[in-house]
Amino acid sequence: MVDVTRRVVLQTGLVALASTMPVVGRAAVAAPAWPSSLVQAARTQIGVTTRYDPTYVRIAYPGGDVPPDRGVCTDVVIRAYRRAFGLDLQKLLHEDMKANFAAYPKAWGMKAPDPNIDHRRVPNLAAYFTRRKAALPLTEDFAAYRSGDLVTQMLPGNLTHIVIVSSKTSAEVPGRPLVIQNIGAGASEDDTLFAYQRTGHYRFAPA
C-alpha cells in the first residue's frame, strides 16, 4: 500500500529489521520455466532498487514506472512480470478496473480508476489475481509455496505487503522458502515468508 503512514513506519522499525534479516493463473497454461524466469527478473532488482519510496507520482501509461532505484513492494512484482514476460500489470489491472470498478477495494475513496497508482496498491493486485482465478489456499506447509508464487501479508501497523516466493530456501529452517521483496530498504531476498501474517497466496502464470 502506497501511503505516507507506511513511509513513517517503515523508515523506523522495519528498515532496521530489513537490514538484519537473514539473506540466504491465468486460465492459459504457461511453460514450466516461467516461475524461474519471474524469480530471476525479481532478483535482478536487488542492488538496483535501493530505496523504499511510496510517493505518489504521475507515470506513463502503459508501461509506466518510477525511477528504478526506488519503489514499494508492488513495484518488485510489476517490474518482474514486465522484465520476464513483457506483461504489464499496470495496463491489465487498469483495463479490468475500468470495466469492473465495483469489484475493487474502495479504501482510498476513489471515484474512478487511476493508472498512476492503482496497480501499486496491494489490495488491488490481490483483487486482480483473485479475479483471474490465480488464488490458492493459505497453508503452513512450506512445500505449497512454490518458486514464483505471490504472497500478500499484513505487516505491523496493518500495512499491506506483497512478496515473490524465491527459488532459494532458508539457512535456518530447511525447506522454508525465501522471498524477494521491498520491505523498507530496497529490493532484497529474505527469510520472512512466515514472519508476518499471510493474507493471500497466488500463482499468476503469464498467458
Phi, psi of 14 (to 5 degrees): -75, -30
pLDDT tens digits, residue range 131-172? 999 999 999 999 999 999 999 999 999 999 999 999 999 999
Q: Considering the entire predicted model, what is its pTM?
A: 0.86
Residue 48, domain extent? 4-202
Q: How confident is the prediction for the chain on average, in pLDDT?
A: 89
Beta bridge partners, 190, equal 179
pLDDT of residue 22: 42
With respect to residue 125, please indicate whether it lies within any of the assigned structural domains.
Answer: yes
Cβ pair 76, 181 in contact under 8 A? yes
Q: What is the CATH number of the domain that holds 111?
A: 3.90.1720.10
Cα dihedral 51, 55, 59, 62 sign: positive
Judged against a pLDDT cut of 80, whether residue 29 lies above it is answered with: no
pLDDT for residue 23 = 40
113 located within any domain: yes
The confidence score (pLDDT) of residue 11 equals: 43
Using pLDDT thresholds of 50, 70 and 90, give the confidence band for residue 207. Answer: confident
Split into its structural domains, the chain has a count of: 1
Q: Average pLDDT for residues 75-97, to the nearest whole number?
A: 98
- 31 — pLDDT class (breaks 50, 70, 90): very low
* Cβ neighbours of residue 157 closer than 8 Å, sequence gap 6 or more: 5, 6, 9
Percent of the chain at pLDDT exceeding 70: 85
- Helices H / strands E in the chain, number of each: 6, 6
What is the distance between the alpha carbons of residues 69 and 187, in angstroms, rounded to a whole number?
A: 9
170 lies in a domain?
A: yes
Lowest mean pLDDT among 92-96, 108-112, 185-189: 108-112
Residues with Cβ within 8 Å of 111's Cβ and at least 6 positions away in sequence, in order, are: none
> Does residue 55 belong to any structural domain of this protein?
yes
Mean pLDDT value across residues 36-44: 98
pLDDT computed for residue 1 by the predictor: 47
Nearest alpha carbon to residue 70 among 162, 174, 187 = 187
Q: Which three cell numbers stand for residue 8?
A: 513513517
175 is a domain residue: yes
On whether residue 103 sits in a domain, the answer given is yes
Residue 207 lies in a domain: no
- Identify the pLDDT of residue 136: 98
Q: What is the pLDDT of residue 32?
A: 57
Query: Quick check: is 17 in a domain?
Result: yes
CB neighbours of 142 closer than 8 A, spacing ≥ 6?
Answer: 175, 176, 177
